[in-house]
Structure 1
């Protein structure tokens, strides 16, 4: 499980084994059953989590009470409500396991301590936050500037194989459309192939 974490952070920084062991020490492995809630809107997010197994949906409820999925977190993705974690405000996001899953979790306090004791860790999370900001910007541009057909094809490229694990409703929530409209898109694309 820590091998996966090491592989992930090695994409961004070079951390000697001894320092990696100090970095990994505060992480705790948490297991979640399918449909288990990791974070609920209104609670305070006190963690960041690295997914080692499974899949999560990160979503919020819009003003009409409908789910709007921001993203799915699969193996080697990170989960948190960054606004709640950083600003110590109630979470607006919900995080739910879509299948039996495992996450390496670290508290904000432990992460802040690592910033002070291992300088490379601050660089690691700065790079990861930059990449997350780019992904968020691309997601916003996709939602506001692309057709639902193009967003669906983008979803298939971004999450290969995930479509088989999700319900039509979950995919539609991510795309910002109804599941009925998703059915029409799928039929249209099938006819074009």
Structure 2
């Protein structure tokens, strides 16, 4: 398995020496999951941060009534995990499940901590990744409170054009906080408006 996608991603942000690259790669593992498999489950401690080299995942939680609430999708060149559980090493609030056969490059919590000491500029990179994830989460919360379902769908479609074709409509509806029937109605309206 190749590390090229991860190295290409990191090289967009920081320059590595050959030695640093070698140290980084020595701390990673490759893992493949089948469609439907869980990378993390609610209640388990999230042990890895995962860079997707192929495939698609969803991050969600199940409420007390058994209802699924999707909070995120992730595809190639994205990171996926329960960040809160990983950072605090406490039980996960979220499940991360593969929607397609998925291949990951993983860093364990311990490996990442060692990398921060051995390659300090990596800590800055991961801080930036977490900051961006936090900002995206905050914006999503505000959109959910202030925008109509149609507006939220249009933002989703514009922001994630490569994802919409890969996942079932009922999952997009769950992500938007609406029923699949209401999503169908919105899509019909949009076609009619064109």
TM superposition score category, shorter chain reference: over 0.9
Structure 1 residue runs without a partner (length 5+): none
> In structure 2, what is the Cα distance between the partners aligned to 1:139 and 1:21?
37
- In the TM superposition, what are the counterparts of 1:118-137 in structure 2 within 5 Å? 118-137=119-138
Report the 3-state secondary structure (helix = DSSP H, G, I; strand = E; otherwise coil) of the residue aligned with 1:143: helix
2:159 aligned partner:
158
Q: How many residues align?
A: 193
1:115 and 2:116 aligned = yes
Aligned residues: CA RMSD: 1.2
| Deviation for aligned residue 1:158 | 1.7
> In structure 2, what is the Cα distance between the partners aligned to 1:129 and 1:143?
21
| Deviation for aligned residue 1:62 | 2.5
> In structure 2, what is the Cα distance between the partners aligned to 1:13 and 1:168?
38
Question: Is the 8 Å Cα contact of residues 152 and 175 (structure 1) preserved in structure 2?
Answer: yes
Question: Is the 8 Å Cα contact of residues 47 and 108 (structure 1) preserved in structure 2?
Answer: yes
- In the TM superposition, what are the counterparts of 1:4-43 in structure 2 within 5 Å? 4-43=5-44
Q: 1:161 to 1:129 in 2, by over 3 A?
A: closer
2:173 aligned partner:
172
What is the TM-score with the length of structure 2 in the denominator?
A: 0.95
What is the TM-score with the length of structure 1 in the denominator?
A: 0.95
> In structure 2, what is the Cα distance between the partners aligned to 1:12 and 1:160?
24
> In structure 1, what is the Cα distance between the partners aligned to 2:48 and 2:62?
21
Report the 3-state secondary structure (helix = DSSP H, G, I; strand = E; otherwise coil) of the residue aligned with 1:69: strand
Cα deviation per residue 1:52-76 (whole Å; 9 max; x = unaligned)? 0010001111333211111101001
1:92 and 2:93 aligned = yes
Cα deviation per residue 1:111-153 (whole Å; 9 max; x = unaligned)? 0001111111111111111111111111111211111111111
> In structure 1, what is the Cα distance between the partners aligned to 2:158 and 2:12?
21
Report the 3-state secondary structure (helix = DSSP H, G, I; strand = E; otherwise coil) of the residue aligned with 1:43: coil
Report the 3-state secondary structure (helix = DSSP H, G, I; strand = E; otherwise coil) of the residue aligned with 1:59: strand
1:184 aligned partner:
185
> In structure 2, what is the Cα distance between the partners aligned to 1:189 and 1:62?
32
Moved over 4 A (4+): none
Question: Is the 8 Å Cα contact of residues 12 and 127 (structure 1) preserved in structure 2?
Answer: no
1:67 aligned partner:
68
1:51 aligned partner:
52
